[in-house]
Amino acid sequence: MCQNIISFLLRTNDEINMELMFYFLKRLFSFSFKCQCEVSSWLIYSNDDRKFNIKLYVGFIKHNLIRLQELDQYFSQKIRDDRYLNFIVALLNQLNMPYEFINTIEAVSKLNEEKYESRIYNMLKEVSNITFYNHKELSGSNLFDEYVKIMKYSFSPEKYLGTFFNVLNEKVKEPRPFIVKCFIISWDHFVRFYKIPSGFKNLKINCLTHVAQRVQFKSWHGGGARAFLQLVGS
């Protein structure tokens, strides 16, 4: 049954039919874990040229039918294969989901440093544009995540940091709960990704110390870094 559905998805371009097939596939996966594993393994690991289908991947990702972390890991390992590279660049341009493909984007960035290609540069530039923030729309609840995006994805983060920290100190009236929330976010990120063999798991923890040093702890003596140490020790 799964093979028939996949074959149909590869042949059709009709969005309604595709949505219907993905619904059936999701139902099948709920009854058969073996079926889900076989289809996912084919989509991620097989050498079948038929799988290089943008709409197929978009559908699987949209309907949460594939583990993005596993896909990201595999893509990052295959980036030097031109067949995969062409497909990955096209897929990432289509998805606009840079945060789900951290390892792949890191691998693409390293490849671009070794050998410049306009298509790769344009894709990375698009990633930077996606993650660039509009400081007028920021609130205290998402400022920390925006700082992480700037440091991780912007080509020239120093261009934005001055404005960012002005906004940060303007909007964060109570530093203590803000830093506590940043710490919780950082720790949650580390726990989620600590098994990934890269520095990604430490990304938010590293950013936390930088933010803490720049927040104006007006009600505490000693400023950002000292105040942060007081908070951690309390």
> What pLDDT does residue 54 have?
92
**For residue 115, what is the DSSP state?**
S
Q: Are 95 and 79 in contact (CB under 8 A)?
A: no
> What pLDDT does residue 204 have?
82
- For residues 21 and 227, which has the higher predicted lDDT (pLDDT)? 21
Instruction: State the Cα–Cα distance between residues 204 and 192, nearest whole angstrom.
Output: 12
Q: What is the pLDDT of residues 148-185, one digit of tens each?
A: 777 766 666 676 777 777 777 777 777 777 777 788 77
Among residues 58, 55, 63, the alpha carbon closest in space to that of 22 is found at 63
Residue 148, CA distances (Å) to 51, 200, 223 in order: 34, 11, 22
Confidence of residue 128 (pLDDT cuts 50, 70, 90): low
Instruction: State the Cα–Cα distance between residues 175 and 179, nearest whole angstrom.
Output: 6
Q: Are 18 and 63 in contact (CB under 8 A)?
A: no
- For residues 69 and 140, which has the higher predicted lDDT (pLDDT)? 69
For all residues of the chain together, what is the average pLDDT?
76
| Mean of pLDDT values over 76-102 | 83
Q: What residue spans define the domains of the chain?
A: 1-66, 68-140, 141-222
Instruction: With a cut of 80, say whether residue 223 has pLDDT above it.
Output: no
Confidence of residue 52 (pLDDT cuts 50, 70, 90): very high
